[in-house]
Amino acid sequence: MHPDWLLPDWPAPARVRAFMTTRAGGVSRPPWASMNPAAHVGDDPAAVAENRRILRAGLPAEPLWLEQVHGTCVAEAPAEAPPCADASLARGPGQVCAVLTADCLPVLFCDRAGRVVAAAHAGWRGLAAGVLEATVARMAVAPDAVLAWLGAAIGPAAFEVGDEVREAFVSRHPLAAVAFRPALPGTLDEAPRKWLADLYALARIRLAAIGVAAVYGGGLCTYADATRFYSYRRDGRTGRMASLVWLE
* SS3 (DSSP) at 246: strand
Tell me what pLDDT residue 9 has. Answer: 95
Distance separating alpha carbons of residues 131 and 15, to the nearest angstrom: 25
Query: Considering the chain, what percentage of its residues have pLDDT values greater than 90?
Result: 91
Residue of 131, 133, 130 whose CA lies nearest to 120: 131
Nearest CA-CA partner of 37 in 59, 60, 53: 53
Q: Please, which pLDDT band fits residue 80 given cuts at 50, 70 and 90?
A: confident
Q: For 90-101, how does the pLDDT look when each residue is reduced to its tens digit (9 = 90+)?
A: 999 999 999 999
Domains, the chain, with CATH or none: 16-151+211-247 (3.60.140.10)
Q: Is the pLDDT of residue 192 over 70?
A: no
Rounded to two decimals, the pTM is: 0.95
Q: What is the mean pLDDT of residues 2-30?
A: 95
pLDDT reported for residue 106: 98
Query: Is the CB of residue 201 less than 8 Å from the CB of residue 156?
Result: yes
